[in-house]
Amino acid sequence: MIGPRRHIKVLTIFSNSPKLRSVTPNEPSPFATPVSEPATDFSDYQAGPPLQQIPPPVPESSRRWTDLLIAVGTWFVSVLFLLFVPLILVVPYVIYLIFSGHPPTQTALATDKTLLFLSILGVVPAHILTFFMIWLLVTRGGKLPFFKTAGLEWPKSWSPTKWTIACVLFAILLLGFGLLVTKLYGGSKTQLDLLTESSTGARLATAFLAFATAPLVEELIYRGLLYSALERTLGVVAAVVIVSAMFAGVHVFQYINNISVIAVITLLSISLTLVRAYSGKLLPSVVIHLVFNGVQSVMLAFQPYLEGTDKNVPPAPGLEAFTHFLHRLF
């Protein structure tokens, strides 16, 4: 049984319902058809500017292939920089030799210490131009943060300390294995060996490039732009295979007459690309490459003058082709 007060409360609730409450004469019914409002006068209406048509979004597949073409084009331009930018320093020196009354022969160019030093030093502006080109692409002209967008940060799986220790130890392990392979199988002197043995300046310039600019610039190109675009387009396996082959292939030109060194470079390339695929970031590959090259740079810079330069060793094919090009040019 419901008490009087509770009964009054229930009636009040239902009486406030729009279906049950009474409608006053001046209030329209909730179920009545709405009365149309008077028409608006548009005689003084002025049309504004037409709405801009929003273009349809670009399909994801098209964007992936476009990014891949941009990455390959950037890689190709970076190779052109390495081939032609050093001529900015080399050509004026050759012109000086010509106007000095002693036109150089191809043999003289291949053994000219100043020319060899300038050819190595010319890689510095080539790396600077490559880095600036990559910076423009990664940051969209300065609109995005460079380090985060390029992946130059540690993965979240481990702490930065653990990642640093692991990368340093892995680089030393790779370097030790590489030294063992070259010691056991030997091989002829490479183009790089001849360049570093030509003069103290060439040796120190090579050590500087191997440590200061090459690891960062090369990783940004290969494990940065190329790998990211290939992974999105063709998958992880294809990206690892293609990037590893491209990186090793470019360095084959420097070590073409020493198969053991080519094997070590190929192993390094595969290892760096696998680390990039596993970590999902670029910084671990950069650190491994930096330590790998850094230890060799220190060894090269403080190399004792016990072996000396073998004057009977002919120029490497790459160096001979370069000096032949200069000789035909002038």
Within 10 angstroms of residue 64's Cβ, the number of other Cβ atoms is 16
Instruction: Write down the pLDDT at residue 305.
Output: 53
40-44, 159-163, 279-283: least confident range: 40-44
Position 190 pLDDT exceeds 60: yes
Q: What is the DSSP letter of 142?
A: T
Residue 260 lies in a domain: yes
Residue 147 lies in a domain: yes
Instruction: Write down the pLDDT at residue 318.
Output: 47
Residue 5 lies in a domain: no
Residue 306 lies in a domain: yes
For residue 282, name the pLDDT band (cuts at 50, 70, 90): very high
Instruction: Write down the pLDDT at residue 151.
Output: 95
CA triplet 261, 196, 206: central angle to 5 degrees? Answer: 85
Residue 50 lies in a domain: no
CA triplet 134, 175, 252: central angle to 5 degrees? Answer: 55
Within 10 angstroms of residue 67's Cβ, the number of other Cβ atoms is 17
Position 306 pLDDT exceeds 60: no
Average pLDDT over residues 19-30: 42
Quote the tokens at residue 221.
């190109």
Residue 302 lies in a domain: yes
Position 4 pLDDT exceeds 50: no
Q: In a 3-state reduction of DSSP, which class is residue 281? A: coil
49-58, 68-77, 110-119: least confident range: 49-58
Position 246 pLDDT exceeds 50: yes
Position 296 pLDDT exceeds 70: yes
For residue 283, name the pLDDT band (cuts at 50, 70, 90): very high
* Average pLDDT across the chain, whole number: 81
Number of domains forming the structure of the chain: 1
| Contact present, 221 and 134 (Cβ < 8 Å) | yes
% of the chain surpassing 70 pLDDT: 74
pTM of the complete model: 0.76
Higher pLDDT, residue 198 or 278: 278
Instruction: Write down the pLDDT at residue 46.
Output: 57
Task: Please report where in the chains the tokens 């002197």 appear, as a residue.
Answer: 189
- The sign of the dihedral angle between the CA atoms of 96, 197, 175, 182 is positive
Average pLDDT over residues 316-329: 45
Instruction: Write down the pLDDT at residue 107.
Output: 79
Instruction: Write down the pLDDT at residue 257.
Output: 83
Residue 31 lies in a domain: no
- Full residue range of the structural domain in which residue 97 is found: 61-329
Position 238 pLDDT exceeds 50: yes
Position 43 pLDDT exceeds 70: no
Position 30 pLDDT exceeds 50: no
Instruction: Write down the pLDDT at residue 222.
Output: 98
Average pLDDT over residues 308-328: 45
Average pLDDT over residues 250-267: 89
Residue 56 lies in a domain: no
Q: Which range is most confident: 104-108, 170-174, 325-329?
A: 170-174
Average pLDDT over residues 138-144: 94
20-24, 154-158, 261-265: least confident range: 20-24
Furthest-apart CA pair in the chain: how many Å?
127
Position 248 pLDDT exceeds 70: yes
Higher pLDDT, residue 177 or 16: 177
For residue 23, name the pLDDT band (cuts at 50, 70, 90): very low
